[in-house]
Structure 1
């Protein structure tokens, strides 16, 4: 469903950004080259605790076990920010906050405190719009039960917003992207198509209410359901698309992932947006990255693009059955390809 474009004082925020949302990420292949070998960091001290999850598998957040043994708590730390994905500043703030908080939920944690990350062209865009962005972030963090305590801002030609989030988790009950095992189904907790609909919004001003509500929805309940069902492996689906994040999960877990394309839920209008050419460069780069590792069988190009669509604040992809979430595939023993789409 679409409605008339939302504007604040005639301003369309998406026109001030080269990219949009998580589609503005550095391509996954290029990013892996940049960070290759940059693991570990400074020598560990007793107060620092053990780094349980770091950069090695490209997981959603860092996790450090606090001193106190296996019965202690772990700290979950992440940061996420991006350019405007919608024109409405309040909605952009809500979406960016939900997206940042998602990294903590994707690890099986609960967010405690967040700080704002804001870049704003103060000579170009009114500061009252920035206030609306921050208000949106504050409201979603409040829904999550997460404190917001200050942050950092810079004068920048391109607006950007997000959060650095700290949470806690049980170190013995994490959701990791390297813990997948063959024989386990794959569940997806939000539909795909956010990228192409956001791209259409940027180009035309059409507002897709279902897409906005999907992006602002917290992944809190999905993470709790996954943990309650005994899941130990998950990731959230954001800028690298379903296939990109699934490829990272399968590679880290040493398995092959099989995707049933017909079972993957899509937002209304997503197929039409692909048909009409509203596909971001980020989505095409995602597809190019996974293609050498994927057996697409007879899957056509539009379906491939939707499976690689760069999502913003997408759902959780869980290795295991999650009540209410469709099963979209399964993990099988490692084969010739890391991904198989049927």
Structure 2
């Protein structure tokens, strides 16, 4: 009798997590001919900006937030894969300042390659995160796919006046990041069997932590802009905020929070292919000071799966924002820079 072996989830995909994203410059080109949002006056946020979710005004007191996010495996444990993908999808609702109310599952699986128990564990992982968020998975769609894919379409609600876009930052705002960076590098190390258990647990702990503070941050008038840091890396998503708001940014490299093994792994040359694509898409608007370590470019463009919130707030609100984040378990939340007047550009020193 021939013994069959279940393949590693990450071996079935050409990329993983938010590193699967199409490069931002290519995506912008593809979206160039999208239907103008001006045709729909109640569409408060659409494709005209590089924001996290669409927002449609239902009435004077309610706006519907809608988003879709799915990807290939970043880890081999199916339950963890489901948890990470669901947390990542829900993040877009929180990043707009909303409260999720319902999700639909998006499932593509190689049905004759993976055991059905493995696929069921992916779905159970996603359901466990939705239960934690207090929402149902009320349906969805599934296909037989060559590569394993899982994610959610999520709907949420917010007051129209409390939507936090990524293009409303102001000169002088402080930039705060809620989660540590380095997820892409850790996932690349995992695929190469070079990530120890402590590193894996650090990655899982970060990627399955819901960005729930976004809902409360939206109620603070001094919080001017919100986004989450995902597939385009810290530089890519900060630059989206700068472009949308018409501002420049200064980032303090020494203040950036990291998942424990990320910098050491980066020094050995471990990185994702998406890091290079991210750098090519933004390099003309980035200045890296000469004193930064050699691995800084790879770390700053590292794609984050289920990353943290990037918050632009008035200086006098920075301590309140940090207190709120840390009280909710985001112990590595940090001030990482400042926004200023000038053409969209980021300087990292």
2:250 equivalent among 258, 265, 288: 258
2:298 is equivalent to residue 305 of structure 1: yes
Q: CA deviation at 1:136?
A: 0.5
Q: How far is 1:41 from its partner?
A: 6.4
Quote how far apart the aligned CAs of 1:230 are: 3.1
- 1:154: Cα distance to partner? 0.4
Aligned match of 1:319: 312
SS of residue matched to 1:278: coil
C-alpha contact 2:96 2:214 (8 A) present in aligned 1: no
TM-score, structure 2 normalization = 0.90
Is the 8 Å Cα contact of residues 53 and 62 (structure 1) preserved in structure 2? yes
Aligned residue number for residue 112 of structure 2: 123
Q: Determine if the alignment matches structure 1 residue 34 to structure 2 residue 27.
A: no
The residue number in structure 1 matching 2:90 is 101
Distance 2:347 2:76 in 1: 37
Indicate the SS of the match to 1:172: helix
Pairing partner for 1:171 from 122, 137, 160? 160
Offset of 1:43 from its aligned partner?
Answer: 5.1
Q: Which residue number corresponds to residue 3 of structure 1?
A: none
The aligned runs of 1:20-99 (5 Å cut-off) are: 20-40=16-36, 44=40, 50-66=42-58, 68-69=59-60, 72-99=61-88
Aligned residues: 326
Give the 3 Å change call, closer, same or farther, for CA 64–217 of structure 1 in structure 2: same
2:348 aligns to what? 341
Question: Using the alignment, how far apart are the partners of 2:301 and 2:88 within structure 1?
Answer: 18
* Cα offset, 1:222, TM superposition: 4.6
Shift of 1:87: 0.4
Deviation at 1:167? 0.4
Pairwise CA RMSD of aligned residues? 1.6
Which consecutive residues of structure 2, in runs of 5 or more, have no partner in the other structure? 327-332
| Cα distance in 1 between the residues matched to 2:214 and 2:6 | 37
